[in-house]
Structure 1
């Protein structure tokens, strides 16, 4: 299904920047964030463009061919909500991984991102796919899950 058009120019710029993200385009992405923006995901909580930039720089150092595909983008007032797929390979490995997640964004009056909060299930999307940890996670899911 093709993505729906994005009617909010702030969100359209941000989605375009994420979908075109490469090591050399990180500065263009960061320009869309307020100087003191808060960024939080399951592994990080940082404030400021420089700290956010370090997260993306590390991503490109640690992963092969990371890329984002935004599936849905909805904006209401100064709030935006995105759903996305993040595709990558672990450094030096050929197996491709996909993490599905969502982001809540809050814009400043000037149209920059002041808060960026990512939501995704690290247990399902990442830990369960790792060899040793995955066995433990699946066993825990079976033990805690509701019987069919």
Structure 2
């Protein structure tokens, strides 16, 4: 079994894979953020668009073949629990672009609508070097 790209240490099939397949809905803002990171790592455009708030959702997600997500660190979270409707998750998403290491540091806003957590937008973002598409 392949380890999940989100860094949980769990197998992909029983971690973010159940969200990507639609078998389950991510129960918290952090779970959807982790599953979105894994979707970026696996180039799963359908899942990313499904979990993006309609007010900020792009028409499509462009994946750069020279861009490789390598590690996720969750730094902090506010709200975003089972009984809440909004939350933020601060993270560092480490990546390589054209062989160069870099980091996307973002505090993301999530909102729950109709029982599903959706990525809205960054509350604040700091990304040295070439900024990748939002996670």
Please indicate the TM-score interval, normalised by the length of the shorter structure: 0.5 to 0.7
Alignment correspondent of 1:121: 126
Question: Could you tell me how far apart the structure 2 residues matched to 1:26 and 1:109 are?
Answer: 21
Alignment correspondent of 2:27: 9
Alignment correspondent of 1:74: 78
Q: What is the aligned-residue RMSD (CA, Å)?
A: 3.2
1:29 aligns with 2:48: yes
Tell me the TM-score normalized by structure 1: 0.51
1:108 aligns with one of 99, 110, 113 = 113
Stretches of structure 2 that go unaligned for 5 or more consecutive residues are 1-6, 9-25, 131-135
Stretches of structure 1 that go unaligned for 5 or more consecutive residues are 39-47, 128-148
> How many residues matched?
102
Structure 2 SS opposite 1:126? coil
Tell me the TM-score normalized by structure 2: 0.55
Are the equivalent residues in 2 in contact too, given 1:37–1:113 (CA < 8 A)? Answer: no
Bigger helix share:
1
Alignment correspondent of 2:60: 53
Question: Could you tell me how far apart the structure 2 residues matched to 1:68 and 1:107 are?
Answer: 26
